[in-house]
Structure 1
Amino acid sequence: MSLLFEEIDSQETPLGVVSLRRRRMPALGDRDIYEVKLGEEFLMSSLFVDAEEALSTLGLAAVQGDRLSVVVGGLGLGYTAVAALKDQRIKELLVVDALDAVIGWHKKELVPLGKVLNADARNRYVHGSFFDLATAPAVGFDPQCPGKKFDAILLDIDHSPSEYLDAANASFYSTEHLSLMAEQIRPGGVFAMWSQNLPDPEFEKLLGSVFERIESHVISFYNPFQNCESTNSVYVCVKGEA
């Protein structure tokens, strides 16, 4: 192990080997950078979290009311979940992840935000496939309360609506399956989703077949590796009241 690099954990999962790494890059200052890889593919870095946090802030800003029940699909390094919990209106937050290893990193506080999530009584981890639970409204996301409805569902799992972490996820991006998920959102509630790409007009059209109002946001952030601005996007969809 180098002082500048450490593999904290590596585990076999149904999707392949998932690993958690920590590194330091002197050019970027005196701080630890955490990374998640699936096989040889980089899934997330703590260097680039602006859009993950914006998923929560933009999504929840579109929700009316108090004592909110919220689902986050995809735990990652915890940035979307922690950003959501900064909204004092949240009564409960369910963070759904298919990889038990990733939940374990947070429970064991191997990642910095694990301590924040574990200390907040509103937070609860759910080990399961977001996509399976999203398309089974009679079961739903809360194992303690089948069929429960939520004020917001915030999704950050696939790279984009057309680039999937697992090919099996592709069927979710259809009017049929988005409608099944929308059954679990209260009238006036919100579905928001992160994408690594700029807004896709075809996906916006698909979202419009299910939700009453759609807004797409472009999130810009500095990329030190390329010495330029990079972009991600966040789709925010509001369910009709009727």
Structure 2
Amino acid sequence: MGLLFEQIDSQPSVIGEITLRRRRIPALGERDIYEVKLGEEFLMSSMFVDAEVALSDIGLNETEGDNLSVVVGGLGLGYTAVAALKHQRVSELLVVEYLKPVIGWHQQELVPLGKEQNDDPRHRYVHGSFFDMAVEDPATGGFDPEAPGKQFDAILLDIDHSPRALLHDSSASFYTTENISLMARQLKPRGVFAMWSNEGEDDEFMAVLNEVFEDVACHVVSFFNPFQNRESFNTVYVARKPE
């Protein structure tokens, strides 16, 4: 790419203007860096994906059995989804995404991992609100529109920045004992819920998880940040549904 910066797409969405752009920073090498913004807020970058990958690896390494049915909440640039597909025990992966333009970027392969996802028959996009689907009556709804009431081996969530720093106010009620318990109905016994966060361990959220699940842990994922010339970190929460 000759340009150091290119805006690939920008479209209105139900929560604001969503923009995909690509840049190169010569001091950091020749690779393209993909970024997503919502309005003026920076959402994600292909420079910092260690924790997005770790969300799948940590969550699925804790998940028992074979022929795993997995839900990923939040598509983003696709790193969590593709990391999940690298686990051969995964037989089905549903990626729930609220913003239709983001699904379009992947379907049109405007993002680096779009083709890898599209070529894998185990993978399916689901357009909808993860937070609404999470609390639906599993007898009539849930994460799979083609199979109401279906239970999954793992649910991996990467949407909000943290349980306190929300992408949109509408998700605030999710991080409660009541709604986490409703979501857990869509997990099989001993199924795993894992969630990415941009912040350190949240004691209040850990208490919620411990009310609903067992084997609750919060893992720190460190990575080098060249912009700050130091180590940064994200966290991954993991919890298991009781039998």
Q: TM-score normalized by structure 2? A: 0.98
SS state at 1:13 partner: coil
Residue 209 of structure 1 deviates from its aligned partner by 0.6
Structure 1: unaligned runs, 5 residues or longer = none
Query: Partner of 2:111 in structure 1?
Result: 111
Aligned positions of 1:1-242 closer than 5 A: 3-136=3-136, 137-138=138-139, 139-241=141-243
Q: Which runs of 4+ in 1 moved over 6 A?
A: none
Cα distance in 1 for partners of 2:196, 2:64 equals 21
The CA deviation string for residues 142-164 of structure 1, in whole angstroms up to 9 with x for no partner, is: 01001100000000000001110
SS state at 2:165 partner: coil
Q: TM-score normalized by structure 1? A: 0.98
Cα distance in 2 for partners of 1:11, 1:64 equals 40
Residue 50 of structure 1 deviates from its aligned partner by 0.2
Cα distance in 1 for partners of 2:176, 2:198 equals 19
Residue 2 of structure 1 deviates from its aligned partner by 7.5
Residue 202 of structure 1 deviates from its aligned partner by 1.5
Structure 2: unaligned runs, 5 residues or longer = none
The CA deviation string for residues 97-153 of structure 1, in whole angstroms up to 9 with x for no partner, is: 000000000000000100000000000000000000001133000010011000000
Cα distance in 2 for partners of 1:112, 1:192 equals 25
Cα distance in 2 for partners of 1:176, 1:104 equals 33
SS state at 1:83 partner: helix
Cα distance in 1 for partners of 2:14, 2:191 equals 33
Cα distance in 2 for partners of 1:209, 1:6 equals 47
The CA deviation string for residues 205-234 of structure 1, in whole angstroms up to 9 with x for no partner, is: 110010012011000000010000001000
- Percentage of matched positions with identical amino acids: 68
Corresponding letter in the other structure for 2:52: E
Q: Which moved more, 1:216-225 or 1:1-10?
A: 1-10
SS state at 1:172 partner: helix
Cα distance in 2 for partners of 1:127, 1:33 equals 26
Cα distance in 2 for partners of 1:214, 1:59 equals 12
The CA deviation string for residues 32-65 of structure 1, in whole angstroms up to 9 with x for no partner, is: 0000000000100000000000000000011110
Corresponding letter in the other structure for 2:7: E
Corresponding letter in the other structure for 2:126: V
